Structure 1
Amino acid sequence: MLQILGYKVKESIEEREVNLFYYPIALMVQAPSPTDHSVSTLDGLIADINQFEAIANHWDDAQRATVSGLKRSIEALHREALVRLIRSVKQESMSALRQAIEDEVVYSVLRYHDLVKPPQPPLEYRLQQALEAVRPGLQSHSGDIELVAIKLPDTVEVRLTGTCSHCPAATLTLTDGVEQTIRRYCPEITRVVAVRNDVPNEATDDVAVSSCQSAASIDSGWLEVTSLAEVPIDRVLAMKLEGRSILLSRIESFESFKSGVVCYQNACSHLGVSLEDGAIESGVLVCPHHGFRYRLATGECLTSPEMPLQSYPVEVRDGQVFVKLWD
């Protein structure tokens, strides 16, 4: 019996008959049948794939090339079918499509075919991440930076403070450091404007209003998760929050996050499988299924940089950890 990605091919040598039946993704030659899951789980299905891939790894180059070619053809067929299915469902009911994507198996298959992207964190959060990334360099010269305003669709205003506010190289700092970092975290931002400390009073008033609005929104949407003492240092704690699986970790050596705690969706960006059992080596979380590597302090994917972990904002108040989720 020969099984190839997505299909089972059973060939009768005597009759030369080939029958195709849809099965979970698998690869095998004279191997036992996939585990019979009474209720199929994503981890169980992935375990079957890993088992069969391990067998295929022992084949010679010609056999693997043949299987890889057939795999690509079947994947192309599956992807086209999914594209047409999504197009039809979207016309009938977007809510039904969103509900379907909540299923971890559906989500992982659509992610595999690059038909759904992980939701982006809010723009303001990504901007703060960008500023946190440049802040250590500025602080080493007794300077700092703060976000003044977001002017959609493509502009942000920032203020250099401390020695950076009147440094002759401030323009170079803004262009070569801050702008590039902001655009890396927020590709939709194309203009970064430096606001001087000697701006007119009305601009200062605008900043004050913006600050008040931000302060008023701090408590909106924040959910208490656990105590800071329960969050492990340089390891992960898996939890459920509002029906979502999340990972928490305390990064002892990563000083730019004031809380010292990071939170991610408990899903590998590759196939959406859980990461809680992954090994952590030198601050890098390794997916236990296909080895994708993520920097625990930032969620950056070292295997495929365009596929970071989905992160959530975190605050620590009076020894309790709070997380803000978004759709």
Structure 2
Amino acid sequence: MVHGLHPYDVTTRVENALESVRPYLGTHGGDVELLEVTEEGVARLRLLGSCDGCPSSSVTLSLAVEGAVEAAAPEITSIEVETSDSDDEASNGPLISVESLRSRLGAAEPAPGGAWEPAPLLAELEAGEVGGFTLGDFSVLACRLQADLFVFRDQCPRCTSPMAGASLERRLGHPVGDGVLRCPSCRSHFDVRRAGACLDGEGEHLAPLPLLVRDGVVAVAVPAVSP
């Protein structure tokens, strides 16, 4: 930024922000589209694919998409979300105040919907590595497949044991970049790129957590920890 002016216009910065969270959205089979940035500073977005109508879409939006947009374009005043089914005004989601977003992201303690925690050590993971980390009072499991970093809650959904010590494997016959985490306790297998979907049962999956790079530092959105 030079003399208070950013070298890129607001639309370009919002597009770049959305690009930074697409790997996370892709683990849910979804995507996000920028419809426009209005003269009033409203960013109109549309969730696509599995993110549209997904029960976790509100968390996906508020912690991943909103955080990335606010960090890249602080002049955005609010964010409006639309479904992918209709352009009718009735399909628009509520306007989300960026001021309330700033208070959530900057809170010292996790807010009810979660908060961003800096996690610089995650950036040190090499391709094919997996490791456990503590962010605030929350334990996470992180792994890297090629250039993509993935973070999950450190708990197996099948046996409820910690995933610390999990191995990262590539399935025979699958392309480079495939990755499966194996629980060290019950030996269940979870597809990293498919939001941690369990390969040994129906409907079970690891809990993926949004991440993005803020001011050059990896940050992870962790849920609030119950007292």
**SS state at 1:229 partner:** helix
SS in 2 for 1:274: coil
AA aligned to 1:291 is: R
The CA deviation at 1:182 is: 3.3
Does residue 182 (structure 1) correspond to residue 70 (structure 2)? The answer is no
Letter in structure 2 aligned against 1:286:
R
Of 182, 194, 198, which aligns to 1:286?
182
Judged with a 3 Å threshold, the aligned counterparts in structure 2 of structure 1 residues 131 and 268 are, in CA distance, closer, same or farther, namely: closer
Partner of 1:28: none
Following superposition, the deviation at residue 247 of structure 1 comes to 0.9
CA contact (8 A) 2:30 2:52 kept: no
Specify every segment of 5 or more residues in structure 1 that has no aligned partner in the other structure, as ranges.
Answer: 1-124, 136-143, 149-156, 161-173, 254-259
1:326 is the counterpart of 2:223: yes
Q: Give yes or no for the alignment of 1:266 onto 2:154.
A: yes
Partners of 2:214 and 2:203 in 1: CA distance: 33
2:163 and 2:27 mapped to 1: Cα distance? 28
Q: Is the 8 A contact 2:153 2:206 kept in 1?
A: yes
Unpaired runs of 5+ residues, structure 2, are 1-20, 37-43, 59-81, 107-114, 171-178
Report the secondary structure of 2:29's partner residue: helix
Residue in 2 that maps onto 1:151: none
Matched position secondary structure for 2:220:
strand
Q: Which is richer in strand?
A: 2
Whether 2:133 is the aligned partner of 1:239: answer yes
Higher helix share: 1
Alignment CA distance shift 1:326-1:306 (3 Å): same
Shift of 1:239: 1.2
Give the Cα separation in 2 of the matches to 1:131 and 1:246: 17
Measure the CA separation in 1 of the matches of 2:122 and 2:185.
29
Partner amino acid, structure 1, of 2:182: V
In 1, distance between residues paired with 2:146 and 2:104? Answer: 24
Tell me which amino acid in the other structure corresponds to 1:280: L
Change (3 A) 1:159 1:289: closer
**Identical aligned residues as a percent:** 23
TM-score by length of 1: 0.37
CA distance in 2, matches of 1:187, 1:296: 17
C-alpha distance in 2 between matches for 1:279 and 1:270: 16
Where does 1:177-216 land on structure 2 (aligned, <5 Å)? 178=49, 182-183=52-53, 185-186=54-55, 192=83, 194=85, 196=87, 210=96, 212=98, 216=102
In the other structure, the counterpart of 1:219 is 105
Go from structure 1 to structure 2 and tell me whether the alpha carbon gap of 1:306 and 1:324 turns closer, same or farther (over 3 Å shift): same
Partner SS for 1:311 = coil
Distance 2:103 2:26 in 1: 21
Contact 1:159/1:194 (<8 A) preserved: no
Q: RMSD value over aligned CA atoms?
A: 4.2
Q: Measure the CA separation in 2 of the matches of 1:239 and 1:296.
A: 17
Question: Retained in 1: the 8 A contact 2:51–2:57?
Answer: no
For residues 265-313 of structure 1, what are the alpha-carbon distances to aligned partners after superposition, in whole Å with 9 as ceiling and x for unaligned? Answer: 1111111222232222110011122221111232111112422112222
1:305 & 1:219 partners in 2: Cα distance? 35
Across the two proteins, how many residue pairs are aligned to each other? 154
SS at match of 2:205: coil
- Where does residue 71 of structure 1 map in the other structure? none
SS at match of 2:201: coil
Is 1:276 matched up with 2:169?
no
2:28/2:51 contact within 8 Å kept: no
